[in-house]
């Protein structure tokens, strides 16, 4: 298997995230673009992240990200304003459909405790959260017993622990940063999900939001809500009031927008690109549709065909771990075709 899904936050409120299939819960979530509070690199476009201020706020990923997954990794770079004295909350949690979970839970001293099938297993050494730490939770529900492990900065921080429980699949995936109630903050600005424990999910990645800069080739008649360019109304940040639409869709109608080269979009020539994830949001007619990723050639990678609600914003995504036409790794010279395609009407 491979990298399943990646996300970089943008200038989108908790209300926007809710419309985008996320589930924010609790209080104390504040959007930020402050350089010291986002995980970034020299040359990056503006990045955004979330401040968790200790009021027990958390973010649950869209349900489709983990649907059907039995094992893999949940990973995020995490930082805090202090190194200890935290609320003892799970910062990474993967819950099975049974309700039992595998999680990395911060301790007051700044260590992480591993729980497998909701049972405590082991505590790491104290971690200095004043610098960014790339935390990866390895989880496996695929058989009895379950297994889990915590990695920090690419190094195993706990042993691989087991707990007897029936085979299961992911129910939800949740992130939260270490924070102290009322007095200190924690920060997260991206998240990655891998769908196999054989993947290198512990290896640090940068996830960057890349928007289209030109229109591609459409099928059907698509009309932007303002202006004449599709790419101008479907980019970041998410805004339900701007969109492009097909008033009378037919099967295989599609709207396509195209990015600049990845090097231009990322602001740096990447040494490697693990994957490209396309995110789509739509509503207005009960159809099925899917997100598609292309590379300008004949090949494409399609996401899961999704039933679109006529009244509620529906999320669909596709992830391509290689340039589809060549099946070779993405490079900085590649531009990406981002497609929304009607499947059935």
Mean pLDDT, residues 49-62: 94
The pLDDT, as a whole number, for residue 126 is 97
Query: Given 2.60.120.200, 3.90.1170.50, 3.30.70.20, 3.30.1300.10, which CATH number is that of 3-194?
Result: 2.60.120.200
The pLDDT, as a whole number, for residue 182 is 83
Residue 203 burial by CB count (10 A; 0-12/13-18/19+): exposed, middle or buried? middle
CATH topology of 3-194 equal to that of 214-344?
A: yes
Q: In this structure, what token pair is assigned to residue 79?
A: 């930082």
Confidence check: pLDDT of 250 > 80: yes
The pLDDT, as a whole number, for residue 340 is 98
Mean pLDDT, residues 39-47: 97
The pLDDT, as a whole number, for residue 27 is 86
| Distance (Å, whole) CA 288 – CA 314 | 10
| Distance (Å, whole) CA 303 – CA 4 | 10
**Given pLDDT bands bounded at 50, 70 and 90, which one contains residue 55?**
confident
Mean pLDDT, residues 262-276: 97
pTM of the model: 0.97
Per-domain boundaries in the chain: 3-194, 214-344
Q: What percentage of the chain reaches a pLDDT higher than 70?
A: 100
Compute the mean pLDDT over every residue in the chain, rounded to the nearest whole number: 97
Mean pLDDT, residues 8-22: 97
Determine whether domain 214-344 maps to CATH 3.40.1360.
no
Beta bridge partners of 74: 137, 193
Distances (CA, A) of 171 to 98, 141, 259: 8, 11, 33
Is 246 within 8 Å of 254 (Cβ atoms)?
no
| Distance (Å, whole) CA 43 – CA 36 | 15
Beta bridge partners of 52: 29, 186
56-96 confidence digits (pLDDT tens): 899 999 999 999 999 999 999 999 999 999 999 999 999 99
Q: What percentage of the chain reaches a pLDDT higher than 90?
A: 97
Confidence check: pLDDT of 41 > 70: yes
139-178 confidence digits (pLDDT tens): 999 999 999 999 999 999 999 999 999 999 999 999 999 9
The pLDDT, as a whole number, for residue 1 is 65
299-328 confidence digits (pLDDT tens): 999 999 999 999 999 999 999 999 999 999
Mean pLDDT, residues 233-252: 96
**Given pLDDT bands bounded at 50, 70 and 90, which one contains residue 335?**
very high
Closest CA to 265 of 274, 256, 276: 276
Whose structure tokens read 């529900």?
A: 141
177-210 confidence digits (pLDDT tens): 999 988 899 999 999 999 999 999 999 999 999 9
In the structure, how many helices (H) and strands (E) does the chain have?
3, 27
Which residues make Cβ contacts (< 8 Å) with residue 242, sequence separation at least 6? Answer: 225, 226, 233, 234
The pLDDT, as a whole number, for residue 54 is 85
Which residues make Cβ contacts (< 8 Å) with residue 231, sequence separation at least 6? Answer: 211, 212, 213, 214, 215, 257, 258
| Distance (Å, whole) CA 252 – CA 258 | 19
């Amino acid at each position: 298997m491979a990298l399943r899904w990646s996300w970089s936050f943008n200038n989108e409120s908790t209300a926007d995230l809710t419309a985008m299939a996320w589930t924010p819960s609790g209080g104390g979530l504040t959007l930020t673009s402050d350089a010291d509070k986002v995980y970034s690199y020299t040359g990056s476009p503006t990045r955004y992240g979330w401040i968790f201020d200790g009021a027990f706020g958390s973010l649950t990923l869209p349900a489709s990200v983990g649907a059907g997954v039995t094992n893999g990794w949940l990973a995020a770079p995490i930082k805090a304003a202090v190194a200890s004295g935290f609320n003892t909350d799970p910062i990474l949690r993967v819950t099975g459909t049974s309700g039992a979970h595998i999680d990395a839970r911060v301790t007051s001293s700044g260590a992480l405790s591993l729980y497998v099938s909701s049972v405590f297993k082991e505590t790491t050494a104290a971690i200095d959260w004043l610098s960014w730490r790339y935390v990866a939770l390895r989880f496996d529900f695929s058989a009895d017993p379950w297994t889990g492990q915590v990695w920090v900065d690419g190094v195993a921080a706990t042993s691989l622990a087991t707990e007897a429980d029936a085979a299961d699949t992911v129910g939800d995936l949740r992130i939260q940063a270490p924070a102290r109630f009322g007095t200190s903050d924690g920060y997260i600005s991206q998240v990655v999900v891998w769908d196999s424990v054989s993947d290198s999910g512990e290896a640090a990645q940068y996830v960057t939001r890349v928007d289209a800069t030109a229109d591609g080739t459409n099928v059907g008649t698509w009309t932007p809500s303002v202006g004449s360019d599709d790419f101008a109304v479907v980019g970041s940040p998410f805004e339900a009031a701007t969109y492009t639409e097909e008033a009378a869709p037919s099967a295989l109608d599609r709207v396509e927008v195209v990015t600049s080269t990845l090097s231009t979009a990322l602001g740096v020539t990447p040494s490697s690109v693990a994957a490209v994830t396309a995110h789509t949001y739509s509503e207005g007619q009960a159809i099925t549709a899917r997100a598609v990723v292309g590379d300008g050639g004949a090949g494409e990678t399609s996401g899961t065909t999704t039933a679109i609600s006529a009244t509620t914003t529906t999320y669909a995504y596709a992830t391509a771990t290689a340039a589809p036409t060549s099946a070779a790794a993405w490079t900085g010279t590649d531009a990406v075709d981002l497609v929304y395609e009607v499947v059935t009407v």
